[in-house]
Amino acid sequence: MPINGNYYDWESIEIMLPNGIAIGITEISYNDERGIEARYGKGSIPRGFGRKNYKAGGNMSLDKDEAQRLQVALGGSFYREKPFPIIVSYANEDQMTIIDVLPDCIITKADTSAKQEDDNAGVVKLDFTILSPIKWSGISAYPVAM
């Protein structure tokens, strides 16, 4: 439900990284999936399906100074061995805060490409894999066996 017509916007989003609340972040995207594959026997119509593995990942764009703070917090390298959480929260006035937890993230790619006409040439794009199920608004995307 919007408040005075205002749905979530970039000002209503807060992103927590290992180095604290990210101020110099310009983009974040994350997703998960668990595909299926049709199983065939005799004939051309599926008899059922098989489930594939759950997988999750994402990417984010940070200003160079924010990326450097994250790199220091990760022990000097983006390719830290120990996974870390990313917490994304959305809040509008007078509404409950929605919190997505991306547990156990590991950065897999860093890209600092820029071109002459870019307004902000100091952007670092990071891809990450999420090793545990995303908690969408506090609910695990996939049940974890104990």
pLDDT of res. 120: 60
Residue 67 phi, psi (nearest 5) = -65, -40
Whole-number Cα distances in Å, 120 to 72, 74, 81, 82: 22, 24, 30, 31
> What is the model's pTM?
0.82
Report residue 75 as tokens. 């022990």
pLDDT of res. 106: 96
Question: How many whole angstroms separate alpha carbon 3 and alpha carbon 45?
Answer: 50
pLDDT mean over 12-20: 85
The helix/strand/coil state of 64 is helix
Which residue ranges make up each domain of the chain?
10-139
pLDDT of res. 146: 46
Whole-number Cα distances in Å, 36 to 14, 33, 133: 34, 10, 17
pLDDT of res. 104: 94
pLDDT mean over 15-23: 89
Query: Tell me: the pLDDT tens digits for 91-136?
Result: 776 778 889 999 999 999 999 876 555 566 689 999 999 999 999 9
**CATH fold of the domain at 10-139:** Pnp Oxidase; Chain A (2.30.110)
Query: Tell me: the pLDDT tens digits for 62-89?
Result: 999 999 999 999 999 999 778 999 999 9
pLDDT of res. 80: 77
pLDDT of res. 6: 54
